[in-house]
């Protein structure tokens, strides 16, 4: 079926958006035998594959390699000063992404999913119109249209870039201002600094990574300072201006000017893609931020219309969108009437340098909920490679436990390997383990991970 086909079609399911959540829902529904159509105007895979997790992690890996080469030099390897041919690396990155596109395309064909390269909009509660006027009538509709970067409303905002633009870079800019201290700002700053840029971060709040364990976030700030990143915390940005030499100047919240930037990147949050959906035609409710309102089962305000992923106001992560989409289809087409995603205790990692990860409650969240019944255990150590190379970087792991039985309610890791270590311990936390369970587990030595089972 072509997008220009101005006829009417019937499907069991129409999915709006071919990103993480939409693809997961479409594949799962097709596995149950549903007749599925999916509309996606851009590249398959959405934000995650094209301008999010995947290219970001590729750049992080490049930065890790650069860091490793520096460590190698300190340890006696005779290797020249690392310099990345950015264009060549991007060619490897995009080849990897092209393989993901091809694999999705194959799976869509194999599952008999009708894929339409078009925006979709509501023409009625479960009637979707393609860009070229075809009308799809569906028993069920999933909205999975994700989100996009948001620029602040300040003078000169148009002079700055957003995270999508970062993936078009073909070289490391000399001096970069990154506005925003959330995970995207922290990740982009880390990569750019490690790959040769001089980065200055402008953070509105008192510190980076609000919502993460405070002690670890402060530790990470110190790591960033040591690597040469300049942090301006607590001021925000009031305006961006272009100087006579073409470079950018940032006026911070206190009125102080910081000039000489080749590029400025706003990492100041994201907004949901709902404007083009014509939600009014179906009376689908949104919240004040434009997110589609959903209940615990991903139901919108309209019967048999659902929403998953970043277009809702839930945890904006790829595995969350995927899990929500799959559970939803298990319920709608798989006969599992109770299936829904448990949004508690979702583990998350920031690919900073070094990485930081968390699952469960921070110490302050636990104290708010459990008062004095909170017990905190920490391990502050140097990973073996860093000790061998005699670099100052330290790891900091923290456990938050509650009650006499010391039930583990929070695990927070900063340091080499934190990104890979956390997943297994997240399973344990979700199963309700106690500190004794960790102590009963024999350590794997010598690793950083063993610190988690040895904390006292």
Ligand X SMILES: Cc1cc2nc3c(=O)[nH]c(=O)nc-3n(C[C@H](O)[C@H](O)[C@H](O)COP(=O)(O)OP(=O)(O)OC[C@H]3O[C@@H](n4cnc5c(N)ncnc54)[C@H](O)[C@@H]3O)c2cc1C
Q: Which residues bind ligand X (CB under 6 A)?
A: 16-22, 39-42, 46-48, 52-53, 56, 119-120, 144-146, 163, 184, 273, 276-277, 309-311, 316-319, 321
Query: Least distance (Å) from ligand X to the CB of residue 112?
Result: 20
| Host H or E run for residue 235 | none
Residue 178, classified by CB atoms within 10 Å of its CB into exposed (0-12), middle (13-18) or buried (19+), is buried
- SS3 for 439? helix
Residue 31's CB is within 10 A of a number of other CB atoms, namely 14
Q: In angstroms, rounded to a whole number, what is the distance separating the alpha carbons of residues 74 and 350? A: 27
CB-wise, 144 or 201, nearer to ligand X?
A: 144
| Host H or E run for residue 418 | helix 418-430
Query: Least distance (Å) from ligand X to the CB of residue 53?
Result: 4
Residue 446, classified by CB atoms within 10 Å of its CB into exposed (0-12), middle (13-18) or buried (19+), is exposed
Query: Least distance (Å) from ligand X to the CB of residue 248?
Result: 21
Query: Least distance (Å) from ligand X to the CB of residue 182?
Result: 10
Q: Among residues 95, 258, 386, 445, which one is catalytic? A: 445
Query: Least distance (Å) from ligand X to the CB of residue 440?
Result: 32
Q: In angstroms, rounded to a whole number, what is the distance separating the alpha carbons of residues 120 and 446? A: 54
Q: In angstroms, rounded to a whole number, what is the distance separating the alpha carbons of residues 321 and 45? A: 12
CB-wise, 19 or 394, nearer to ligand X?
A: 19
| Host H or E run for residue 452 | helix 450-454
445 catalytically annotated: yes
Checking phi first, is residue 269 left (phi over 0); if not, alpha (psi -120 to 50) or beta?
left
Residue 437, classified by CB atoms within 10 Å of its CB into exposed (0-12), middle (13-18) or buried (19+), is middle
Q: Which residues are catalytically annotated?
A: 445
């Amino acid at each position: 079926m072509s997008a220009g086909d101005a006829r009417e079609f019937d499907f069991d399911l129409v999915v709006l958006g071919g990103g993480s959540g939409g693809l997961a829902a479409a594949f799962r529904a097709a596995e149950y035998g549903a007749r599925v159509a999916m509309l996606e105007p851009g590249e398959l895979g959405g934000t995650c594959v094209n301008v999010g997790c995947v290219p970001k992690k590729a750049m992080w890996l490049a930065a890790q390699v650069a860091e490793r080469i520096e460590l190698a030099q300190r340890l006696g390897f005779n290797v020249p000063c690392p310099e990345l041919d950015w264009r060549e690396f991007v060619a490897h990155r995009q080849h990897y992404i092209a393989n993901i596109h091809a694999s999705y395309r194959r799976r869509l064909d194999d599952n008999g999913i009708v894929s339409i390269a078009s925006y979709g909009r509501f023409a009625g509660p479960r009637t979707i119109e393609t860009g070229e006027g075809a009308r799809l009538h569906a028993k069920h509709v999933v909205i999975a249209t994700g989100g996009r970067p948001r620029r602040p409303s300040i003078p000169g905002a148009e002079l700055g870039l957003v995270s999508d633009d970062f993936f078009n870079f073909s070289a490391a800019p000399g001096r970069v201002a990154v506005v925003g201290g959330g995970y995207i700002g922290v990740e982009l700053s880390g990569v750019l600094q490690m790959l040769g840029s001089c980065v200055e971060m402008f953070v509105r709040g008192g510190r980076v990574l609000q919502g993460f364990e405070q002690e670890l976030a402060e530790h990470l700030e110190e790591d960033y300072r040591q690597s040469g990143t300049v942090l301006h915390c607590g001021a925000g940005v009031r305006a961006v201006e272009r100087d006579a030499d073409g470079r950018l100047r940032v006026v911070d919240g206190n009125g102080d000017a910081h000039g000489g930037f080749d590029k400025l990147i706003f990492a100041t949050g994201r907004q949901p893609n709902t404007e083009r959906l014509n939600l009014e035609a179906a009376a689908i409710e949104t919240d004040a931020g434009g997110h589609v309102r959903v209940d615990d089962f991903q139901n919108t305000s309209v019967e048999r219309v659902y929403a998953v992923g970043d277009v809702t106001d839930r945890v904006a992560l790829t595995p969350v969108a995927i899990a929500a989409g799959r559970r939803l289809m298990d319920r709608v087409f798989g006969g599992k009437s109770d299936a829904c995603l448990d949004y508690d205790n979702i583990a998350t990692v920031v690919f900073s340098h070094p990485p930081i990860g968390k699952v469960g409650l921070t110490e302050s969240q636990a104290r708010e909920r459990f008062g004095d019944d909170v017990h905190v255990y920490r391990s502050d150590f140097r990973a073996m490679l860093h000790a061998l190379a005699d670099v100052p970087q330290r790891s900091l792991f923290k456990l938050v436990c509650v009650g006499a039985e010391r039930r583990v309610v929070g695990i927070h890791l900063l340091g080499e390997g934190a990104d890979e270590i956390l997943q297994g311990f997240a399973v344990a936390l979700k199963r309700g383990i106690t500190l004794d369970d960790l102590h009963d587990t024999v350590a794997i030595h010598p690793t950083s991970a063993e610190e988690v089972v040895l904390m006292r």
